[in-house]
Chains A and B, each alone.
Chain A
Amino acid sequence: MPSRPLIRAGFLTLALAWLALLAIGPAHAADDAAARTLLAQLREADFSGKTALIEQLAALDHPRIATALKALADSRLYYQEAGNRVVIGSGDGADIAIEDAVSGAALGQISKRDLDRITTNNRLRTLIENRLASLGLASADPEQRKAAVEAFLKNPDPTESERLRARLSVETDSEIKELLAMSLALADLASPDAAVRVQGATTLGGQLRSELRGPLTKMAAEDNDSTAREAARIALARTQFRLQLLGWAETLFFGLSLGSVLILAAIGLAVTFGVMGVINMAHGELMMLGAYTTWLTQQWLPVNWSLPVAVPLAFLVAALVGIAIERGVIRFLYGRPLETLLATFGVSLILQQAVRSIFSPLNRSVASPDWMSGVIALGPLEVTLNRLIIIGFCIAVFALLWLALQRTRLGLEVRAVAQNRAMARAMGVRSARVDALTFGLGSGIAGVAGVALSQLTNVGPNLGQSYIVDSFMVVVFGGVGNLWGTMVAGLSLGIANKLLEPWSGAVLAKIVVLVFLILFIQKRPRGLFPQRGRAAEI
């Protein structure tokens, strides 16, 4: 016997459906029934059966179909045994809110286990995207029209070209007009008439969009008509030079981006190792703590807000741990670099295993906020947003640190102690306190770097290990004790790596850079920008 709430829910749907019937009239009742039958068939159909059903659904002129198809593409369309109906789910938990796929009536919360998800695959997703796009072609919203044409550019479908042509004659937005013309030319490439193909290729020549390059390359290689092949080749050649330039700009951006990550990882070390002369092998683990702090903030805050909060928190956490390390271990070992190295290595292992025991050895998933995902166009160059933001973040951190060292009282004391400890003490600087704060500053910056790294790589107990060698490399190459050196070294290593990579492969590129560094250090043991004056002699 069905339970009371179920009966109530059933009654409610019935009432709603009846109301809808009254409102829309009998014409839509037939549509509703047809939509229901087709949706219900989706459950049992195999993938080719589903393809046919989606075509039929898209042809149905029903206001809810777009929503239902979108839900199918997002894997949110379910079959509910209890109500013998197809529903749309929303939410992430074990219990999700459902609504009727056809009427849109809310049906309350239900356990996922009682629902049977209607499966989909990539081919169906593409199909749905295309059908939804052509539904959106007549939309009043220019963004939707643009998205519709973009979808067509991605998966050209010659049967749709009539609709595009019709749209072009009434379209007013110039950007969309241009896209439409491009799409039509793209559709022309598949025409059986060679002259139309040549015309299409000529129109497309000089366009930089990557979607166009594939069909043109194919035409240049495989077309059975020699004039068409030639036209495609000319069209491709017109973009060749600009593509080459674009390729170089892209490599440069990749290099800058890798360099900014290297700088972020190394800059904290530039303070502890460069200014204080402490070899801190636990530096990587401080970054790891920063990354875990990010994960923790995401447990409490929505993803889009978590990163701005995580930055100061990570700084605090890592700085406090850093100060604890300095007060607990390192201060007893000043002037004994080997012992410091061993002790901090031990600390790094303790921190790793502690994280393993507290958070489990599995990686934690840190989500990227929306404002950090996707690409942005800088002129013709498309760059990934997260990398661009990290470059900006790196510059900001660098500037703040530089200001802190040059313009604050603490910075002055830090520099004084680094230059001549005895004299600084004689002038009344409390060197022990300055040591602790300097180490805290360096560690805090490592924590902040961890926030950035959490957006790029795994957040797990081994995060720090993979960056510690690179960090030391950058600091040593740049010249110990010189922040600008760290900056220049990080950027040049990043760019060198990226220039080498396409030519030699990632494995060899790393080795070549290391060999170069070893040779460089042989020649100039103090790095790119050696410290001069008395500090260098100590």
Chain B
Amino acid sequence: MTKTMPKFLPWLLGSALTLGVSLAHAADTIKVGVLHSLSGTMAISETTLKDTVLMLIDAQNKKGGLLGKKLEAVVVDPASNWPLFAEKARELLQKDKVAAVFGCWTSVSRKSVLPVFEELNGILFYPVQYEGEESSKNVFYTGAAPNQQAIPAVDYLMNDLEVKRWVLAGTDYVYPRTTNKILEAYLKAKGVKAEDIMINYTPFGHSDWQSIVAEIKKFGAAGKKTAVVSTINGDANVPFYKELGNQGVSAQDIPVVAFSVGEEELSGIDTKPLVGHLAAWNYFMSIKDKSNDAFIKDWHAFIKNDKRVTNDPMEAHYIGFNMWVKAVEKAKTTDPDKVIDAMIGIEAPNLTGGVAKMLPNHHLTKPVYIGEIQADGQFDVVWQTKGLVEGDAWSDYLPGSKDIIADWTDPKIKCGNYNTVTKTCSSQNYK
């Protein structure tokens, strides 16, 4: 009983509100679904994204809504429970008839809702960096693909810090395994020998890092500059960094570049031992730009707490939401097929002074930044890509996927996994 309480309470409240509002203006609202966990283990990350979408909808309504109608959020709570994500997605699309859904964090939750969106022809905006190897007609990937985060970070370490020995450390699940596979192939293509790469996986929430850190130290004592590329997920990062600090491994000796540690994660850590370690993202709260300042101000006003931080997935929702608004205005309807077609090529400003463009493979163009952790939990940008990087759905460094491209505009292709050698779309259901 206790388990269903947190799950149902906000939902009941939400749907009661929805019911009230939708009776009042039966036809003149456009519904937007928000599919983020508000309870369970993922609530720590996803609650913020729910608030971000609510803030964006609120701002759009203040500007007069969309197509002359008000936007209306339908918030559901999938409670960090992957099958429940699919149920809630079905409910949003079939019962609430939402025009678009903003949601999901983990790859497994996205994979869980994917068949539902394809069956019912919905639109999903997915805001988190992920492992790639996917392009669905019904999903727009507003987070980074591996070539927009992992590969540039490795380039930075290799060229600027002259790293010669690599530790690829990750949590044991699909995102780190795929990313590390891509990175391993990439490093080997760059001439790094197999004995200079150490790969290590740990279970979720791993808390005893003593022997792994000792091993990394030993691995790093071979006379070559060593770095750790970390795809360690969520909570396991804190004890990992603490152990590094305690065993005296500083960022100057062995830098750690992380792909899953952002401002929000750092706000729960004592960051003093972490100063100088790196993270790669497409957005940092510390980047000075007018649009970013305005966004942070709006966020603090909306959440009524000026201590709260902003992070990369929030920017992804900001871009995705503005793109969807533009696409609906261009298509003059919320009909999914027309909006999906209108989305390609839409441009919307990002928060770091540039413009993001939706590509035919449903990924974005993004700048890539490398930041060093500061004692106040923010990042200092130490490197950035010269221009924007185009998101690549299928990695060029994996044998199975280097011939595959995704293109949803070319009438000859029109699928998410076109093999340029055999000139066919494969039989997977990403079409």
A residues with a Cβ closer than 8 A to B are 47, 74-75, 92, 119-123, 125-126, 129, 154, 210, 213-219, 221, 250-251, 254, 257-258, 261, 346, 349-350, 353, 356, 361-368, 373-375, 384-387, 456-460, 462, 466, 497-498, 501-502, 505-507, 510
Q: How far is the CA of A154 from the CA of B252 in the complex (A)?
A: 10
B residues with a Cβ closer than 8 A to A are 1-3, 5-6, 39, 41, 43-44, 47, 161, 172, 200-203, 205-208, 210-212, 214-215, 217, 220-224, 235, 238-239, 242-243, 245-248, 251-253, 255, 264, 267-273, 275-276, 372, 374-376, 380, 382
Q: List 11 A-B contacts (CB under 8 A).
A: A75-B380, A210-B217, A219-B223, A356-B6, A361-B44, A363-B238, A375-B246, A387-B210, A457-B239, A458-B235, A462-B235
Among A74, A216, A353, A497, chain B packs the most CB atoms within 10 A around the CB of A353
Question: Nearest chain-A residue to B172 (Cβ)?
Answer: A507
B200 contacts across to A, CB distance below 8 A: 505-506
Given A458-B238, A458-B239, residue A363 in contact with residue B208 (CB < 8 A): no
Known pairs A92-B376, A456-B208; list 5 more (Cβ under 8 Å).
Answer: A75-B374, A119-B380, A121-B372, A214-B221, A502-B215
Question: Nearest chain-A residue to B234 (Cβ)?
Answer: A458
Evaluate contact between B246 and A386: CB separation under 8 angstroms.
yes
Evaluate contact between B246 and A506: CB separation under 8 angstroms.
no
Evaluate contact between B269 and A75: CB separation under 8 angstroms.
no
Evaluate contact between A251 and B276: CB separation under 8 angstroms.
no
Smallest distance from the beta carbon of B42 to chain A beta carbons, Å? Answer: 9
Q: How far is the CA of A366 from the CA of B273 in the complex (A)?
A: 13
Label chain A's interface by main secondary structure: helix
Among B238, B374, B375, chain A packs the most CB atoms within 10 A around the CB of B238
Given A214-B221, A373-B246, A456-B239, residue A356 in contact with residue B2 (CB < 8 A): no
Evaluate contact between A121 and B380: CB separation under 8 angstroms.
yes
- The A/B interface has a contact count, at CB < 8 Å, of 149
Given A75-B374, A366-B270, residue A346 in contact with residue B2 (CB < 8 A): yes
Evaluate contact between A507 and B202: CB separation under 8 angstroms.
yes
Evaluate contact between A375 and B44: CB separation under 8 angstroms.
no
A498 contacts across to B, CB distance below 8 A: 210-211
Q: How far is the CA of A367 from the CA of B268 in the complex (A)?
A: 10
Evaluate contact between B382 and A121: CB separation under 8 angstroms.
yes
Q: How far is the CA of A385 from the CA of B243 in the complex (A)?
A: 11
B276 contacts across to A, CB distance below 8 A: 121-122, 125
Question: Nearest chain-A residue to B214 (Cβ)?
Answer: A250
Evaluate contact between B245 and A373: CB separation under 8 angstroms.
yes
Q: How far is the CA of A462 from the CA of B37 in the complex (A)?
A: 15
Evaluate contact between A462 and B41: CB separation under 8 angstroms.
yes
Q: How far is the CA of A510 from the CA of B202 in the complex (A)?
A: 10
Q: How far is the CA of A47 from the CA of B156 in the complex (A)?
A: 14
Question: Nearest chain-B residue to A372 (Cβ)?
Answer: B246
Evaluate contact between B375 and A75: CB separation under 8 angstroms.
yes
Evaluate contact between B242 and A356: CB separation under 8 angstroms.
no
A386 contacts across to B, CB distance below 8 A: 246
Evaluate contact between B248 and A217: CB separation under 8 angstroms.
no
A218 contacts across to B, CB distance below 8 A: 222-224
A456 contacts across to B, CB distance below 8 A: 207-208, 239, 242
